Amino acid sequence: MYLIGIDVGGMSIKGGLVDSESGKILYQTAITTAEKYDTSNSFSEDIAKVVALVIEGSKVSFDNVVGIGIGQPGTIDSERGVVRYSNNIAIENVPVVDDLHKKGYNCPIYINNDANCAALGEYIFGAGRGYKDICFVTLGTGVGSGIIINGKLFEGRSSAGAEAGHMVIVANGERCTCGRKGCWEAYASATALIRQTKAVMEKAPDSMMHEIAKEEGKVSGKTAFVAAKRGDRAGQDVVDAYINYIGEGLVNLANIFRPDAILIGGGISRERDYLTIPLQKKMDAEAYGGEHNPRVIVKAASLQNDAGILGAAALVINKE
């Protein structure tokens, strides 16, 4: 049987047909996200358009589609199937699931926050397979998180929980986009890494990071990692401090949820072992109760570019 996964982003709305057993994407397509959605319905129409394109392009019968999942940044009321608020697409209170049902898609349809979808995708199709309890963290522009408890997505009341990126790890620290000071996101996101890299570069005019940034055309999330790998002391300092900030949040999650594993996704996770080995070391050294408590594994997420579509499709399996 098949699942349809829709991955909504600020640039494009991707859709894919997924084999529910193998987790393979059999067909995929995309349209450009509109710069502005005038009426709430025009957004749902774009979603419906992608669903239609997937069915048309993949040539499967809609009768064989078990369900549709939609992953979307923002604040989602997953119970009622409503996008409450989405910052980067500028829509509010759109009843996407109802709209799609009205357009004749009479299968189960679910919508959820993109980080929750990514967690589910890894749990069902990726690096989280075989575990019962995982935390998933995505290190990108922000820090997103998704929590799986006993095989099911944990969302908090009205799906307003699982926002671990907005857990303060430095009281009175850097201002976060959410308004608080010192959130994990303000220290462990790629955005934060770039800020930290620039700050150290200013004080270290001889660091290789200057040259690397020039080659790349800008300071990026890679600059300090590349420099550190070439033996640059200042670059290594940036990386060490940054990894330590990531680790503070990971150990916090371990102490709160004590999952089997914590998976790391997002752009920064491409550093793989360079990131996960020191993080595992910190986890083993600092997680509460030491050897009296079961170990929490730290590993990189595995779905990469397919994460969006597979995560959205996984919503259907989560609800079955």
**Residue linked to tokens 């680790």:** 247
To the nearest whole angstrom, how small is the minimum distance from the Cβ of residue 255 to a copy of itself? 4
Contact by Cβ (8 Å): 238, 196: yes
CB of 10 or CB of 156, closer to a copy of itself: 156
Angle between helical axes of 307-319 and 114-125 (0-180°, round to 10) = 80
Q: What phi and psi values does residue 34 have, to the nearest 5 degrees? A: -65, 150
CB of 79 or CB of 273, closer to a copy of itself: 79
H or E segment at 319? helix 307-319
CA atoms within 13 A on the CB side of 67: 18
To the nearest whole angstrom, how small is the minimum distance from the Cβ of residue 298 to a copy of itself? 15
C-alpha–C-alpha distance, residues 293 and 295, integer Å: 6
CB of 84 or CB of 103, closer to a copy of itself: 84
To the nearest whole angstrom, how small is the minimum distance from the Cβ of residue 224 to a copy of itself? 18
CB of 182 or CB of 278, closer to a copy of itself: 182
Pairing assessment for the beta strands 109-113 and 297-300 based on DSSP bridges:
unpaired
State the residues that interact with a copy of itself by CB under 8 A. Answer: 75, 84-85, 132-133, 149, 154-158, 160-164, 166-171, 178-180, 182, 187, 244-245, 248, 251-252, 255-260, 285-286, 288-290, 292-294
To the nearest whole angstrom, how small is the minimum distance from the Cβ of residue 134 to a copy of itself? 10
To the nearest whole angstrom, how small is the minimum distance from the Cβ of residue 287 to a copy of itself? 9
CB of 199 or CB of 256, closer to a copy of itself: 256
In sign, the C-alpha dihedral spanning 213, 215, 218, 222 is negative
